[in-house]
Amino acid sequence: MKIHFSGVGGFGMSALAQIHALDGQPATGSDRLFDQGGNRALKERLAALGIELFPQDGGAVTKGTGLVVLSTAIEDDNPEVAAAKRLGIPLKHRSEFLAEHVSRMRTIAVTGTSGKSTVTAMIFEILEAAGRGPSVITGGNLLSLQKRGLWGNAFRGKSDLLVIEADESDGSLLNYKPAVGVFLNLTKDHKEVPVLKDFLLKFRGNVRAALACADDPNLAGLRPDRTFGLESGDVRAELLALEAGESRFRIQGQEFVLPMPGRYNVENAVAAAAAALGEGVSLSDCRKALATYQGVARRFQSLGRARGVEVVDDFAHNPAKLAAAIAAAHLRAERVLAVYQPHGFAPTRLLKGELIEAFASALAPDDRLWLPDIYYVGGTTAKDISSRDLAEPLRARGRKACHVPRRSDITALIKAEAKEGDLVLVMGARDPSLADFARDILSALA
């Protein structure tokens, strides 16, 4: 069946389109960001897999199209939706299409408001190193897969094992009925905690076996089959030693060395080990795989150093992730020069108080924070909040925060401010050009 993926530039959508193409099936796609000239690297990689790309004007949806898969960003009045309805072609949301893969395979679904991409990648790499032949569909690009010439967020393995991210933000995870559910954490993000917890409780009913973090009180009531954590849990990481370039800890007496900084990455690792143990992988194999874990693009990804200044690119965008990334940065540098690009008007409005509190608590007095304008890709959302609404309260609390509308101006400010031993931390989600922006900073410093 020829399937058209509308909004194919999104993380989840591009992964599904790649899996369909890797299965040898015909696929077409469109994305408004491609139409604007953005994200050319992904566009080229999808085309190289044989996915034919079209403008998002409805012309790609023809009588030969068997199904149109829609991302959450596609509105009802989109030309491709209209074309599908006119031709009688079925429409499915991204999560409904992914649910078909989940049902056909033994699926481990990872959910929670922080760490999904990293834990999904860790589970996949452990299972692959153990010779289990897994597939993966995820929202972050695994660096190990990129080294094989893939985009990085999808891979078709030889077995029936599949590891996926299960997105709680819009409730789409309720479409999935996986063999295993891994519940990482729960904080306010996209929606209030009670709403998100209701999603997770309902998802628990779809899961045959549940693993949950025993340290998170917001996950109480899930009735997990097994637990993991740092403070408690059936699988527990102990004797943590958090260093600039790696983290050391013990699980059931075996010493683990993870080549990633930060307490939050130890939390991710113990979750991944717990999931792999449930699939019959030995603790020794978990330890060996995590020792060579290569990471995910834009998850505390060090881009290099120039003039003694390190530049790190990170996907952090909710308060918990931002605070965790800054804490990890402080393990590597006394002073952090941070950039955070808010990723939409609605999320910034919802999380305003928590974002201010996270930055006020995580930033040291000598740190700097620059906030460019809020990232906006279109739509009808109210533009009634600005990055200035974050910067001004932070300055009132003694933090060196500043709203600088244009990112290009921030590059010059960092170049003038940075000194040997500093760490530049670029944070933000959704905008694929943020990685290029971080590299531009490194080039400017050089």
pLDDT at position 270, please? 98
CA distance 421 to 424: 10
pLDDT band of residue 440 (cuts 50, 70, 90) is very high
pLDDT at position 360, please? 98
pLDDT above 70: percentage of residues in the chain: 100
Lowest-confidence range among 118-127, 298-307, 378-387? 378-387
pLDDT at position 169, please? 82
Lowest-confidence range among 37-41, 52-56, 386-390? 37-41
Q: Residue range 63-72: average pLDDT?
A: 96
What pLDDT digit, counting tens, does each position of 150-184 carry?
999 999 999 999 999 998 888 889 999 999 999 99
Task: With a cut of 90, say whether residue 396 has pLDDT above it.
Answer: yes
What pLDDT digit, counting tens, does each position of 307-324 carry?
999 999 999 999 999 999
pLDDT at position 64, please? 96
Question: 174: part of which helix (H) or strand (E)?
Answer: none
Cα→Cα distances 360→144, 211, 321, 329, 350, Å: 35, 33, 14, 15, 18
Are the beta carbons of 108 and 179 closer than 8 angstroms? yes
pLDDT at position 269, please? 98
Task: With a cut of 90, say whether residue 379 has pLDDT above it.
Answer: no
Task: With a cut of 80, say whether residue 407 has pLDDT above it.
Answer: yes
154-155 and 135-137 beta bridge pairing? antiparallel
User: Which residues lie closer than 8 Å to 48 by C-beta, 6 or more apart?
Assistant: none
Going from the N-terminus, what domains does the chain have, and what CATH number goes with each? Answer: 3-94 (3.40.50.720), 105-291 (3.40.1190.10), 301-445 (3.90.190.20)
Give the rounded distance of the alpha carbon of 60 from its chain centre: 29
SS3 5: strand
CA distance 16 to 118: 18
Angle at 110 between CA 164 and CA 119, to 5 degrees: 90
Task: With a cut of 80, say whether residue 217 has pLDDT above it.
Answer: yes
Give bridge partners of residue 243 from the DSSP assignment.
none
What pLDDT digit, counting tens, does each position of 342-374 carry?
999 999 999 999 999 999 999 999 999 999 999
What are the phi and psi torsion angles at 109 (to 5°)? -110, 125
